[in-house]
Structure 1
Amino acid sequence: MLYAILTICLAADSRSCGTVTPVGHAFAAQAECEAAAPRIARDWLGSQSGWTLDRLECAPLDSLPVMPVQPVADGVHVHVGQIAQFEDSPDGWIANLGFVIGRDSIAVIDAGASRRQGEALFAAIRRISDKPISHLIVTHMHPDHAFGAEVFREAGATIVGHQRLADALQGRGPTYLDNLVRLYGAGAMAGTRVVLPDVAVADSLDIDLGDRVLTLKAVATAHSDNDLTVLDRATGTFFAGDLVFRGLTPIVDGSLPGWLDWMAAPQAGGPVVPGHGPVAASWPDAVTAQQDFLTTLAQATRQTIRDGLPMSQAVPAIVGALQPFAGEWASFPDSAARDATAAFKELEWE
């Protein structure tokens, strides 16, 4: 199939250029694509502000950037992101993303940090299957998981998230996007927009892809206040989102006690796909290291509170208590300080 590829530039800065491929328009013949491409470009640019068209061409999907994916179970594929925080990554492609193929359709779990990454995931899916993409499931609000969503809406997917996801994206999304543009440049983030979910999950929801049911569960405040998990009941594969970190220092952006409580209840017995780091073969493999880290964080924080330390002294003391973990977790120094601050602010009011 052929797609129109738009090279767009900021009108105020011709050096800030990027490419966009509206994936909702696919053509079997070059002539058809070339005839439709000007209209596609006009329609797409009409919804943007400050961007101009620099070049327009038609090309097959095989010529587009594609991200590597690996099978982890029958019909289940995962892209394992860089084990780094945004500041240590060249492009922000740090989260694990996945998709599950049913008899009738495909569900995507998380969409990446930008439109460009979402398109690369779309291209990877299309190399494996041409079935309709019926759903995009966003596990939580953080941009490395959510900001490629518009690509899959264009492809026809219904976007599903936690009942608090929309509010979280509306509140934080614009700031997240500004920060990523500053970090990676406007060209790398070209066409990236904050996209809200179509369906909100308050408790649980089953999605049938055809002889394949995914069970989605909304989680109480833990890593964030809008975490959603996905269980493929056919294989037992469990997509945990950022409720599970492996290799990358866990980030508390919700509730530390809530996160520890969630980990205390074992999940399904198949492969566990964390939000960051390698896929785990079992639940203990997935969470033991994270439990140890977060338990120590909670214990050290409560000790500083019992000792009556102000936050300016408590944070260094908590980070000091976490130092034995430093060699086990990437991006440790900044993330540990952030976690110590968040934990102190929450636990001082227990």
Structure 2
Amino acid sequence: MIHLILSACLAGSSGDCVPILLPEAESAVMAECESQAERVSRNWLKRHPDLLEEQVSCQSATSLPALPLRELAPGVHVYLGESVQMEESANGRIANLGVVIGEKSVAVIDSGVSRRQGQELFAAIRQLTDLPISHVILTHMHPDHVLGTSVFKEAGAEIVGHAALPAALEYRAQTYLDNLAELYPPQEVIGTEVILPDRQVADRDIIDLGGRELLLKAEGTAHTDNDLTVFDSKTETFFSGDLIFRDLTPVVDGSLNGWLEWLEAAPAPMPRRIVPGHGEVAESWKIAVTPQTEFLTMLRDSTRAAIADGLPMSDAVPVIAKSMQIIENKWNSFEETAARDATAAYKELEWE
């Protein structure tokens, strides 16, 4: 396939330019891409007045930067992010992303932290298949999972998320974009937008890719209040989003008790492999969830003990975090996250 690449620069800036892949002009032959280049690039820039065109070109998919994808099973591929917090990453590419290829179309599970990462995921898919990318499934609201969506939206994909995701994203959209701009250089984040779901899942849903079905389930409040899981029934592969952390310290942004309840109830049918939101793919449920269950249980028990001792939150948080240091060497980015989790746990458990 041939792809239109717009070199776009920040207005009023010198040298802050990035390649923008415009999937609307995706073509089988070079001449067809070139015939659409001016119209497509002009229309895109109208929607992005902060950017100026430097040049446009048509390039083959094999020449484009592409994320490295690992094939887990026939038609199931993953990108494994760096298991650190965004503040410790050079580009924010810390989340695991999934690609499932059916007989008729392709689904993406989480799109990455920026348009640039989303484009590289798009290019990686195009090196595997020319099938249409019909769906992007967002497992929850956090920016490392959702901010690469725009390129897939422009390619015609339906964006799918938990019923609570639109409100959560709308509320945090500008904060996410501002934080991204503070953390990373302009070349990493130019063109990044917040895209809301077209299709919302309140309970369960099914996506048919042709020859394989993805089973979607809206979970109760746990890691967040908008967690969505995905099960590929053909290969029995379970995408948990950030309901499962491996290596990277878990972040409580929903309900500690709800999260522990979710972990206690193994999914049915039992998956053959589990793709967590962060860390390595696991071959069994026990391997996937035991360390995280230990972490969250210790967090709950330490918080309850501090509350029982009558400590105010300002005094309790360092006490809770210190009590958990015995498992610090099992987790990346532990110190800052443990203190944040202690704060969230105290607020939730104080009025039990």
Q: Distance in 1 between matches of 2:40 and 2:47?
A: 11
Matches of residues 146-157 of structure 1 in structure 2 within 5 Å? 146-157=146-157
In structure 2, the residue matched to 1:327 is 329
Q: For residues 92 and 166 of structure 1, what CA distance do their matches in structure 2 show?
A: 22
Distance 2:84 2:335 in 1: 12
Name the amino acid aligned to 1:164.
A
Number of the residue aligned with 1:194: 194
Letter of the structure 2 residue corresponding to residue 18 of structure 1? V
The answer for the alignment partner of 1:118 in structure 2 is 118
Alpha-carbon distance change, 273 to 50 in structure 1, aligned in 2, over 3 angstroms: same
Amino acid at match of 2:253: D
Q: Deviations over 1:181-208 (max 9, x none)?
A: 1111222111110000000000000111
Partner of 1:294: 296
Deviations 1:36-65 (A, max 9, x none): 212111111000131111222221111111
Q: Which residue number in structure 2 is paired with residue 337 of structure 1? A: 339
Q: CA RMSD in A?
A: 1.1
Partner of residue 22, structure 1: 22
Conserved 8 A contact 2:25-2:37: no
Deviation at 1:27, TM superposition (A): 2.4
Aligned to 2:36: 36
Determine helix, strand or coil for the equivalent of 2:305. Answer: helix
Q: Is the 8 A contact 2:303 2:346 kept in 1?
A: yes
Kindly provide the amino acid, as one letter, of the partner of residue 290 in structure 1.
Q
Give 2:348's aligned residue.
346
C-alpha distance in structure 2 between counterparts of 1:168 and 1:221, whole Å = 13
Aligned residues of 2:24 and 2:40 also touching (Cα < 8 A): no
Matches within 5 A, 1:186-335: 186-267=186-267, 268-335=270-337
The Cα of 1:222 is off from its aligned counterpart by 0.3
Cα shift at 1:266: 0.8
TM superposition shift of 1:35: 3.0
8 Å CA contact retained: 1:19, 1:190: no
Q: TM-score, normalised by structure 1?
A: 0.98
State the shift of 1:127 in Å. 1.1
State whether residues 223 and 242 of structure 1, in contact with CA within 8 Å, keep that contact through their aligned partners in structure 2: yes
For 2:266 and 2:31, the matched residues in 1 are separated by 55
> After the TM superposition, which residues 140-179 of structure 1 pair with which residues of structure 2 at under 5 Å, given as runs?
140-179=140-179
> Which stretch shifts more, 97-106 or 217-226?
97-106
Letter in 2 for 1:57: S
Give TM-score, length-normalised by structure 2.
0.97
* Per-residue deviation, 1:33: 2.5
- Separation (CA, whole Å) in 2 of partners of 1:281 and 1:69: 18
- Between the aligned partners of 2:104 and 2:200, the Cα distance in structure 1 is 23
Kept in 2, the 8 Å contact 1:103–1:211? The answer is yes
Instruction: Determine the structure 2 residue equivalent to 1:127.
Output: 127
Secondary structure of the structure 2 residue equivalent to 1:24: strand
- Ranges in structure 1 where 5+ consecutive residues have no aligned partner: none
1:304 CA drift (Å): 0.5
- SS of alignment partner, residue 26 of structure 1: strand
Q: Distance in 2 between matches of 1:130 and 1:74?
A: 16
Alignment correspondent of 2:109: 109
**Cα distance, 1:269 vs structure 2:** 2.7
Give the Cα–Cα distance (whole angstroms) in 1 for the partners of residues 300 and 152 of structure 2: 39
- Distance of 1:108 and 1:34 partners within structure 2: 28
State the alpha-carbon separation in 2 of the partners of residues 163 and 75 from structure 1: 28
1:124-176: CA deviation from partner (whole Å, max 9, x where unpaired) = 11111111111110000001110111111112211100000000110002111
AA aligned to 2:297 is T
